[in-house]
């Protein structure tokens, strides 16, 4: 019999040689086409990142779609929209399917294109010619007509905000056939044609009456989106009514606006706003990103009432409900290096997010610590950083501490090297990074070499901790990783709470090689 000690699978094998260079020039592993498409779909926003442009992302996605079967493209679109809460990439994948697999587009269209904003994204991408056609085509037009007819008149009216294209442009393109006098009047109204006012929905009549009113404060503010009213002369009473009727997202985004217009001078209105923000049902319905709550909290003016700030923190605790409690020793490694200071959704003139990759990494680390008080958070840049956090502090507080740490170059192996020097024991290690490690790459600029330094340090850690697993969360759209995918290493992308669900699966021993891809392939068409 062969010598088992010689030929047995080596626990802690450092893995294959790195086969690519990342955008920073460091050694890395190229993801498989399916892993790459999932990464772009969960993180790409068509905006420029620290290392690549929005056009680079689109080209990469289109090239990947040529290598992957349409069924996986369809499932990725569903996953990115329904689990990752993304907008642009799912719409692009639907546009790709309109050419590659129209039958699959029919199956997923209403599940992915689930709002007027998503519909406009889809039409914009189709007409750009980027998927090989500049016209919508017969099938997409019919799908859009069906989509319009399935919405109520009120839904279409309040969803008519936005341009390039506007909802009116979409209606003109597809020529829907109205089945009722109300729908006929609505389409005419939306595209600026003369319509029968008596057939219009009551809400539109209320809006037009408010617009024509020359006596401010005497006509009730209609329950329409905030953007429809801002160009009109509004009194403090009007602003109070707007705050009373506002949606959850509109409330979150306009706390300082409410402050400026005197809304919080009313204890009743302040209580209404606070209760709305902390309402579990409303939080679940809007699929809020946890980092959006952190942004609202951090950007609130100092005069915003404490009850509102407390409500945002309550909302955060609800939004991170998917963070698992993990049995065993947990370490979290948030990347605080220089490249992590770029906007998490990328750069785009006029719409760049104030929330940085760093803020998201800090939030994930703080949220895991909140649910796992015995966990240790080890931030890193060129080296591991000692940072003592109180797990009893709020997620907001600890996230701000982490986000304030000094930045340097990127060395993803640094926290593992630190643990190995300490001879540390552990069960689950979680990276949150953009994976642009370069300081730990030998022969910088040379394409050869062995395993990445992260894999080498992981091998050393595994010799002491044979059952340990590692989750690498990448929050930028790059198709490479520092830790090669295998049964004990899971790579996942994104910055919604879906990453917490995956961590929960891994912590329960449900991980397997290509775990994230397998999760996507389970999406039902």
The CA distance from 152 to 128, in Å, is 29
Q: Are strands 20-21 and 469-474 parallel, antiparallel or unpaired?
A: unpaired
20-79: pLDDT as tens digits: 998 888 999 999 999 999 888 887 666 544 445 668 788 889 999 999 999 999 999 999
Instruction: Please check whether residue 434 lies inside any domain of the structure.
Output: yes
The CA distance from 341 to 360, in Å, is 10
Residues 421 and 442 occupy one common structural domain: yes
Residue 34 dihedral angles phi and psi, to the nearest 5°: -65, -45
The CA distance from 335 to 338, in Å, is 9
**Does residue 10 register a pLDDT over 70?**
no
- The mean pLDDT of 231-246, rounded to a whole number, is 89
* Distances in whole angstroms, Cα of residue 239 to Cα of each of 99, 216, 261, 267, 279: 47, 12, 7, 14, 22
| 445 confidence band (pLDDT: 50, 70, 90) | very low
Residues 360 and 491 occupy one common structural domain: yes
Q: Give the rounded percent of residues in the chain with a pLDDT score beyond 90.
A: 54
135-170: pLDDT as tens digits: 898 999 999 999 999 999 999 998 898 888 999 999
Instruction: Please check whether residue 7 lies inside any domain of the structure.
Output: no
pLDDT of the residue at 216:
65
**Does residue 297 register a pLDDT over 80?**
yes
Tokens of 483: 């830790």
Residues 166 and 306 occupy one common structural domain: no
pLDDT of the residue at 384:
96
The CA distance from 476 to 478, in Å, is 6
Residues 304 and 405 occupy one common structural domain: no
**Does residue 244 register a pLDDT over 70?**
yes
The CA distance from 85 to 404, in Å, is 28
104-142: pLDDT as tens digits: 999 999 999 999 999 999 999 999 999 988 889 899 999
300-334: pLDDT as tens digits: 999 999 999 999 999 998 888 878 888 899 999 99
Residues 191 and 314 occupy one common structural domain: no
Neighbours of 218 (CB within 10 A): 9
CB-hemisphere CA count at 13 Å for 143?
24
Residues 270 and 305 occupy one common structural domain: yes
The CA distance from 452 to 325, in Å, is 30
**Does residue 6 register a pLDDT over 50?**
no
Residues 195 and 328 occupy one common structural domain: no
pLDDT of the residue at 450:
86
Residues 432 and 343 occupy one common structural domain: yes
The CA distance from 332 to 261, in Å, is 42
* Buried b or exposed e, range 56-67, using 16+ CB within 10 angstroms: bbbebbeebbee
In DSSP terms, 469 is beta-bridged to 428
Q: Which helix (H) or strand (E) holds 184?
A: helix 181-190
Domain boundary, last residue among 318, 349, 381: 318
451-504: pLDDT as tens digits: 999 999 999 999 999 999 999 999 887 889 999 999 899 998 887 777 888 888
Instruction: Please check whether residue 451 lies inside any domain of the structure.
Output: yes
Domain boundary, last residue among 318, 352, 370: 318
The CA distance from 343 to 29, in Å, is 24
Residues 276 and 327 occupy one common structural domain: no
**Does residue 221 register a pLDDT over 50?**
yes
Higher-confidence residue of 135 and 276: namely 276
350-384: pLDDT as tens digits: 555 677 888 889 989 999 999 999 999 999 999 99
For residue 338, the 8-state DSSP code is G
Residues 283 and 348 occupy one common structural domain: no
Domain with 463, as residue range(s), is 16-27+322-521
**Does residue 4 register a pLDDT over 50?**
no
* Farthest-apart Cα atoms in the chain, separation: 96
Residues 374 and 452 occupy one common structural domain: yes
Strands laid side by side in the 480-481 sheet: 20-21, 27-30, 480-481
Instruction: Please check whether residue 6 lies inside any domain of the structure.
Output: no
Distance from chain centroid for Cα 392: 27
Domain boundary, last residue among 270, 298, 318: 318
Residues 71 and 187 occupy one common structural domain: yes
- The mean pLDDT of 408-434, rounded to a whole number, is 96
């Amino acid at each position: 019999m062969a010598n088992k000690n010689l030929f047995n699978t080596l626990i802690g094998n450092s893995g294959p040689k790195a086969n690519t260079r990342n955008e920073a020039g460091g050694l890395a592993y190229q993801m498989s086409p399916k892993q790459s498409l999932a990464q772009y779909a969960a993180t790409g926003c068509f905006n420029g990142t620290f290392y690549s442009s929005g056009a680079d992302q689109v080209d990469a996605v289109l090239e990947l779609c040529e290598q992957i079967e349409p069924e996986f493209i369809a499932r990725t679109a569903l996953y990115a929209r329904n689990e990752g809460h993304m907008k642009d990439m799912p719409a692009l994948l639907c546009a790709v399917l309109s050419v590659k697999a129209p039958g699959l587009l029919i199956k997923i269209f209403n599940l992915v294109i689930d709002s007027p904003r998503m519909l406009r994204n889809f039409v914009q991408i189709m007409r750009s010619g980027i998927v090989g056609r500049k016209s919508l085509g017969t099938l997409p037009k019919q799908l859009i007509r069906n989509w319009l007819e399935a919405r109520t008149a009120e839904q279409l009216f309040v969803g008519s905000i936005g341009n390039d294209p506007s909802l009116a442009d979409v209606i003109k393109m597809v020529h829907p056939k109205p089945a009722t006098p109300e729908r006929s009047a609505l389409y005419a109204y939306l595209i600026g044609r003369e319509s029968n006012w008596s057939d219009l929905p009551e809400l539109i009549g209320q809006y037009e009456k408010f617009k024509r009113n020359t006596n401010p404060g005497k006509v009730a503010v209609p329950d329409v989106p905030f953007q429809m009213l801002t160009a009109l002369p509004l009194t403090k009473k009007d602003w109070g009514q707007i705050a009373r009727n506002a949606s959850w997202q509109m409330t979150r985004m306009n706390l300082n606006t409410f402050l400026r217009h005197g809304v919080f001078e009313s204890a009743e209105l302040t209580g209404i706003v606070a209760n709305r923000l902390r309402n579990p049902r409303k939080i679940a319905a809007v699929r809020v990103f946890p980092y959006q709550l952190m942004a609202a909290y951090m950007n609130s003016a100092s005069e915003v009432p404490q009850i509102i700030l407390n409500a945002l923190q309550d909302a955060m605790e609800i939004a991170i409900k998917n963070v698992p409690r993990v049995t065993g020793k947990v370490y979290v490694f948030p990347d605080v290096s220089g490249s992590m200071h770029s906007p998490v959704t990328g750069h785009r003139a006029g719409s760049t997010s104030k929330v940085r990759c760093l803020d998201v990494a800090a939030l994930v680390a703080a949220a895991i610590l909140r649910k796992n008080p015995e966990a240790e958070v080890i931030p890193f840049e060129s080296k591991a950083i000692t940072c003592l956090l109180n797990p009893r502090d709020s997620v907001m507080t600890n996230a701000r501490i982490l986000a304030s740490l000094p930045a340097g170059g990127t060395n993803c192996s640094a926290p593992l090297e630190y643990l190995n020097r300490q001879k540390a024991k552990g069960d689950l290690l979680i990276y949150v990074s953009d994976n642009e490690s370069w300081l730990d790459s030998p022969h910088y600029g040379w394409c050869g070499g062995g395993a990445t330094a992260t894999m080498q340090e992981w091998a050393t850690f595994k010799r002491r901790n044979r059952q340990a697993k590692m989750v690498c969360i990448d929050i930028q759209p790059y198709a490479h990783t520092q830790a090669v995918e295998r049964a004990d290493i899971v790579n996942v992308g994104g910055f919604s709470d879906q990453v917490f669900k995956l961590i929960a699966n891994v912590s329960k021993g449900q991980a397997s090689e290509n775990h994230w891809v397998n999760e996507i392939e389970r999406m039902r068409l």
